[in-house]
Amino acid sequence: MKLIYHGHSCVQITEGSQSVVIDPFLNGNPVAVTKAEHIQAQYILLTHGHGDHIADAETIARANDATIIATYELATYFSWKGLKTIGVNIGGTVDLGFAKAKMVQAFHSSGMVIEEEQKIVYMGMPGGYLLTWNDITLLHAGDTSLFGDMKIIGELNRIDYALLPIGDLLTMGPADALIAAEWLRAKAVIPIHHSTFPMIAQDAAAFAGQLKAKGIAGFPMKPGEEIPLARL
């Protein structure tokens, strides 16, 4: 079982022929080294409706006959395109057969910006996912600020890996993400949503060093890099 970091907030978790991709943003991503057309997955998890998290969902879904899992409004949007979807909401769990995905809250916004019409379409509440697979629990926090209920999520779940945004400006920055890691009681943290564009540039290695000082493992991954996953 392994995790592949595709850059920004896009990660892929695979074991054998089974694969899940989260927040696919590849073809328009300036730091990605993989194209959407090369992704093979049965499920696509979307945390919210911003373009840098859903850009390649349709491409991957059509190529793989994959099912998109997203908050109800966002899932409905993709279902109108003839794609297979499962609408979920915060607190709900989807059984993937080989894994379970539970949507948890995030504090952010969620909407599709249609530039040519100067229009914004609401896409439901943002969220994150607790993905439990082979007795390993991974939290993809989505785009979020620091919020107090992270303590509850950490109390109720044994989180092996937490994927936390550190870019600042549009999400929490490294200082708040460090607190989040402690509140979530994560055994290891993978920083995401950083350094894709100049406005969210961060030193992920320095952040990993701060995590280490608190007894938390940090994995500052580069796009295209992969790591094995194990219960920690």
To the nearest 10°, the Cα dihedral for 114, 119, 123, 129?
Answer: 50
Res 146: pLDDT: 98
The DSSP 8-state label assigned to residue 47 in this structure reads S
* Listed residue (9, 7, 16, 76) closest to 40, CA to CA: 16
**Burial, 219: exposed, middle or buried (Cβ in 10 Å; 0-12, 13-18, 19+)?**
middle
Domains of the chain: 2-220 (3.60.15.10)
Q: Supply angle C-alpha 230, 186, 160, rounded to 5.
A: 15
Provide the 8-state DSSP code for 98: S
Closest CA to 142 of 53, 36, 33: 53
DSSP string, 172-230: --HHHHHHHHHHHT-SEEEEES-SSSGGG---HHHHHHHHHHTT-EE--PPTT-EEE--
**213, 204, 200: which is closest to 30 by C-alpha?**
200
pLDDT at 36: 98
Site of tokens 């979307």: 46
The Cα 34–Cα 27 span in angstroms is: 8
Give the contacts of 12 (CB within 8 A, at least 6 positions apart): 3, 4, 6, 19, 20, 21, 22, 39, 41
> What are the backbone dihedrals phi and psi of residue 190, each rounded to the nearest 5 degrees, phi first?
-115, 115
Query: 167 near 87, Cβ under 8 Å?
Result: no
- CA atoms 19, 6, 142, 115: torsion sign: negative
Q: What averages of pLDDT result for each successive group of 10 residues across the chain (232 residues)?
A: 98 98 98 97 98 98 98 98 98 98 98 94 96 98 98 98 98 98 98 98 98 98 98 94
